[in-house]
């Protein structure tokens, strides 16, 4: 195309989720949800609304890994469990600074109490999977290194207990937490080992071509979730790849790198049948840890982010906080 003349093919929409994201064939991406303009700042000196302090940090400059850290009021020298949290958003939108993610992770830090590290991983389609998985693993390595007395991040060095690390996330972030624990068992972290204390999977985005439980069989409905996956990974991994459908690789699944798993879901969540199947299937595949399962009646996918003050959300946060406290 000549200078100043738009290529007629560049504005063809390749993928759209109305009100969330629009991806053009040219590679241009428009985000309408979870954008950099709709964010909240951290509160390094302490936020009375949540009873925690928060700050944005670079965990690993060489890998360009940043995160928002949350720390509750802690006694000097007291060690706390560390939650490495991955936000949802279909791998395409949101950041740790999105208002409802900031509110949720701050609330979790206070409720557990724990140091929460909310990871700012790369988003698709500019950075297709496995970019987010690579960032998640690099973040975990940086976090456990920082929990040492000479760690580069002072909050983690002073209060992070590397022997009590929980990987957690909601929706796509739950998928990332699961895959990070799988990779940890395969690769190990030098000086740390091949397992964290726990993994908390909140309304996780898993899928597959075969219907599970009471999932709709409608091709258009199922196609939506497959198409999202396709965009996120650039068609590199099929809809039954273990990244998105752990049940297709039970041998790998049985090597999940943690001692206990919490699975939460909601009755009206798109992925409720997958969550039930995960909780049942991980035992059947030969994994030898403890599984906890929590399902909320009458609620939809990640309702606890948008209705954080409702009784069910308060109860679900308490379940997650209790799990972290016991890890």
Residue 5 falls inside a structural domain: no
Average pLDDT over residues 136-151: 96
What is d(CA 124, CA 176) in angstroms, rounded to the nearest whole number? 13
Residue 3 falls inside a structural domain: no
pTM of the model: 0.95
Residue 280 falls inside a structural domain: yes
Give the CA distances from residue 119 to residues 133, 176, 199, in Å, rounded to whole numbers and listed in that order: 11, 11, 15
Query: Pairing state of beta strands 13-17 and 21-24?
Result: antiparallel
Domain, as residue range, for 193: 20-326
Phi-psi region of 46 (alpha: psi -120 to 50; beta: other; left: phi over 0): left
Residue 13 falls inside a structural domain: no
Are 243 and 175 in contact by the 8 Å Cβ rule? The answer is yes
Residue 116 falls inside a structural domain: yes
Between CA 263 and CA 164, with CA 307 as vertex, the angle to 5 degrees is: 40
Q: What is the pLDDT of residues 46-91, one digit of tens each?
A: 998 999 999 999 999 999 999 999 999 877 789 999 999 999 999 9
**Confidence band of 6 (pLDDT split at 50, 70, 90):** low
What is d(CA 315, CA 286) in angstroms, rounded to the nearest whole number? 31
Of residues 260, 63, 252, the one with CA closest to residue 168: 260
Of residues 107, 110, 112, 87, the one with CA closest to residue 97: 87
Domain count, the chain: 1
Q: 129: domain CATH number?
A: 3.40.50.1820
Average pLDDT over residues 24-29: 89
**Confidence band of 2 (pLDDT split at 50, 70, 90):** very low
Residue 9 falls inside a structural domain: no
Residue 8 falls inside a structural domain: no
Residue 92 falls inside a structural domain: yes
Catalytically active residues, by annotation: 171
């Amino acid at each position: 195309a000549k200078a100043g003349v738009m290529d007629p093919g560049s504005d063809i929409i390749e993928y759209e989720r109305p009100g969330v994201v629009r991806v053009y064939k040219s590679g241009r991406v428009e985000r309408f949800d979870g954008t950099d303009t709709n964010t909240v700042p951290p509160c390094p000196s302490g936020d009375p609304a949540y009873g925690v302090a928060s700050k944005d940090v670079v965990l690993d400059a060489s890998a360009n890994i940043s995160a928002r850290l949350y720390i509750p009021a802690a006694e000097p020298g007291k060690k706390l469990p560390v939650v490495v949290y991955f936000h949802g958003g279909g791998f395409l939108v949101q950041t740790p600074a999105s208002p409802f993610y900031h509110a949720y992770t701050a609330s979790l830090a206070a409720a557990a109490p724990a140091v929460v590290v909310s990871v700012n991983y790369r988003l698709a389609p500019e950075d297709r999977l496995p970019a987010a998985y690579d960032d998640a693993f690099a973040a975990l390595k940086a976090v456990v290194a920082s929990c040492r007395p000479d760690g580069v991040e002072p909050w983690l060095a002073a209060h992070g207990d590397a022997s009590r690390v929980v990987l957690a996330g909601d929706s796509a972030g739950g998928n990332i937490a699961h895959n990070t624990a799988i990779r940890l068992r395969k690769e190990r972290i030098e000086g740390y080992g091949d397992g964290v204390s726990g993994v908390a999977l909140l309304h996780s985005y898993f899928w597959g071509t075969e219907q599970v439980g009471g999932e709709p069989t409608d091709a258009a409905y199922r196609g939506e979730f497959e198409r999202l996956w396709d965009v996120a990974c650039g068609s590199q991994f099929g809809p039954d790849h273990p990244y998105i459908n752990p049940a297709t690789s039970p041998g790998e699944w049985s090597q999940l790198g943690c001692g206990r798993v919490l699975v939460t879901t909601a009755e009206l969540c798109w992925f409720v049948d997958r969550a039930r199947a995960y909780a049942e299937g991980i035992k059947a595949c030969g994994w030898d840890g403890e599984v906890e399962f929590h399902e909320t009646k009458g609620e939809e996918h990640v309702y606890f982010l948008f209705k954080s003050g409702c009784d069910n959300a308060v109860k679900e946060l308490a379940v997650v906080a209790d799990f972290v406290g016991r890890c």
